[in-house]
Amino acid sequence: MIDTKPKSNRMPAGSVQCDNTTMNLLKANDFVAKAIKDKVPDVLIINICSSPGSGKTTLLQETGRRLKDRLSIAVLVGDPETERDAVRLRDVGINALQIVTGGMCHIEAQMIYQALDHIDLTQVDLLIIENVGNLVCPSAFDLGEDYRVTLLASTEGDDKPKKYPRMFLTSELMLVSKADLLPYVPFSVEAAVKDAREVNPDLSAIQVSTLTGEGIEEWCSWLEEKVKEKKARKQ
């Protein structure tokens, strides 16, 4: 049977194409974000943001390896094209679904809401949203998350919290990633944390390296604690 669908509509197996919304009002996005919270009230939702190449997927691979026997984790991965990151996560045993944004530089709540119909969350403790690599647009869109986590890689400079303040203002945790490269790059953790906390005094910070394992267990413990706290609130 000949496939009559346009080639532009063909999707790789294991991914879901989301319709782009024409609504540009953040209030509409917030309405859908609330619907996400209502749809999965027992699942902790973490929205992970960063610039491209900061190490989000590698971090989630290591997170899955360490927590697979302690938590049930699912991941929704956002990228303009391809499902490569979702494949990488599935290769280490994580239940992952790719959201193809079709060129959009961020994920919107309606994309997450659509994707929830394509991933089984019945036994999931933790749903992680790996946002599109961008420190600007994703900061404005609530995805129904309980916490927003922003990665700041040692390779991208320590001045980002003041240059992109809204992302750090709307985050609860900053992970300084690729910490193993700190001896070789002009990056001051102290300066980055200082600037970030001037933007957001309540921001927590952890220094991590998936290569050496530095800070990874602290990050995993943070996730476990937040899962426990959410479950306790539902009792």
Cα 214 to Cα 117: distance, rounded to the nearest angstrom: 36
Identify each DSSP E strand in 15-60 by its residue range.
Answer: 15-17, 44-49
Region 30-41: mean pLDDT is 95
pLDDT in the model for residue 11: 53
Average pLDDT over residues 51-70: 96
Q: What confidence score (pLDDT) does residue 12 get?
A: 52
Q: What is the predicted pLDDT for the residue at 104?
A: 81
pLDDT digits (tens, 9 = 90+) for 163-202: 999 999 999 999 999 999 999 999 999 999 999 999 999 9
Does pLDDT of 23 surpass 90? no
Q: Give this prediction's pTM.
A: 0.88
What pLDDT score was predicted for residue 9? 46
The kind and range of the H/E element at 148 are: strand 147-153
Please name every residue paired with 152 in a beta bridge, in sequence order, or none if there are none: 176
Spatial contact of 102 and 21, defined as CB atoms under 8 Å apart:
no
pLDDT at 233: 85
> Each residue of 97-136: pLDDT tens digit?
999 988 788 899 999 999 999 999 999 999 999 999 999 9
Average pLDDT over residues 227-231: 95
Sign of torsion over alpha carbons 27, 33, 34, 39: positive
pLDDT of res. 15? 58
Q: What is the pLDDT of residues 4-19, one digit of tens each?
A: 444 344 455 555 656 5
Q: Which residue has the higher pLDDT, 153 or 22?
A: 153
Residue 95 sits at the vertex; the CA angle it makes with 210 and 40, to the nearest 5 degrees, is: 110
What is the distance between the alpha carbons of residues 206 and 35, in angstroms, rounded to a whole number?
31
Reported CATH class of domain 25-234: alpha beta
Write the DSSP assignment of 51-78 as a string of letters: STTSSHHHHHHHHHHHHTTT--EEEEEE
